[in-house]
Chains A and B, each alone.
Chain A
Amino acid sequence: MYFFLQIALSGIATGAIYGLIAVGYSLTFLTTRVLNFALGMWVMVGGMLTFSLVVQYGINPVLSLAAVLLAMTAMGVAAERVSVFPFLRAGSDVWVMSTLAVGFLFIDFAEIIWGRSPNPVPGLFGSQPVRFGALSVLPQQIAILITAAVVFVALDLFFHRTLLGKAFRAVAHSDQVSTLMGVNVRRIQAGSFAVACGLAGLAGFMVVPLTLAEPQMGTVLGLKAFAIAIIAGLAAPRGILLCGLGYGALEGLISGYLFTGIRDILGFSLMIVVLCFKPEGLFGRPQEERA
Chain B
Amino acid sequence: MPRPLSGRMLPAALVAGALTAPSVVWAQDIKIGFAGALTGPAAYVGLEIKRGAEIAIDEINEHGGIKGRKLVLVARDDEHNPVKTVAQYRDLVERENVVAMIGATNSASMLAVAPIVNDTLKVPVICPTTDATAITENDAKKEGRDNYLFRVGMYGTGQANFIVDTMVKKFGYKKIGLLNWTGGWGVTGRNELLRRVKELGLTPVGDETFENSDTDMTPQLIKLRQAGAEAILNYGLVRENTFLVQTKSKLSDETPFVSAWGIAGPAFWKAAGPIAEGVLTSTTVTIDGPQSPERTAFIEKYKARYKQNFEGPVFVVGAYDAVYLYKLVMERDGTDPKAVRDGLENVPSFKGLVKAFDRPVFTHDRHNALTEDDMIMTRWTNGAMLPVMFDDKGPYVQTDAATRKYIDKKNLSLM
Contacts and interface: CB of A to CB of B under 8 A. Distances in A.
Interface of A: 3, 6-7, 10-11, 13-14, 104, 108, 111-113, 115-120, 127, 129, 136-138, 210-212, 214, 220-221, 224, 252-253, 255-256, 259-261, 263-264
Contacts of B210: 260
A111 B273 contact: no
B222 A259 contact: no
A118 B238 contact: yes
Contacts of B252: 129, 136
A208 to B, nearest CB: 11
Contacts of A221: 213
Interface string B243-254: 100110111100
Contact of A263 (B211, B218, B223): B211
B226 to A, nearest CB: 7
B8 A116 contact: yes
B232 to A, nearest CB: 15
Interface stretch (B25-33, B71-79, B126-134, B264-272): B264-272
Interface in B326-362: none
Residues of A contacting B: mostly? helix
A10 B243 CA distance: 13
A116 B41 contact: yes
B3 A108 contact: yes
18 contacts: A3-B226, A11-B218, A14-B216, A112-B7, A113-B7, A116-B44, A117-B270, A118-B267, A120-B273, A127-B246, A136-B250, A138-B250, A210-B215, A252-B216, A256-B219, A260-B182, A260-B209, A260-B214
B251 A13 contact: no
Nearest to A254: B219
B212 interface: yes
Interface in B1-20: 1, 3-4, 6-8, 10
A127 B249 contact: yes
Contact of B213 (A104, A138, A220): A220
A280 to B, nearest CB: 28
B41 A120 contact: no
Contact of A10 (B182, B218, B273): B218
A112 B8 contact: yes
Contacts of B311: 117
B250 A118 contact: no
Contact of A260 (B43, B220, B271): B220
A118 B242 contact: yes
Given A13-B216, A261-B209, A129 B250 contact: yes
A252 B239 CA distance: 20
B275 interface: yes
A27 B267 CA distance: 38
B249 to A, nearest CB: 7
B218 A111 contact: no
Given A117-B44, A137-B250, A111 B8 contact: yes
Given A111-B6, A113-B7, A260-B182, A120 B215 contact: no
B273 A118 contact: no
B208 interface: yes
5 shortest interchain CB distances as A-B pairs: A112-B7, A256-B219, A10-B218, A255-B219, A220-B213
Contact of A116 (B4, B6, B212): B6
Interface string B143-169: 000000000000000000000000000
A7 B275 contact: no
B4 A108 contact: yes
Identify the interface centre among A6, A108, A120, A260: most chain B CB within 10 Å of its CB. A260
Contacts of B249: 127, 129
Contact of B238 (A14, A117, A259): A117
A199 B246 CA distance: 26
Contacts of B209: 259-261
B6 A119 contact: no
A256 B6 CA distance: 39
Given A116-B6, A255-B220, A260-B210, A212 B251 contact: no
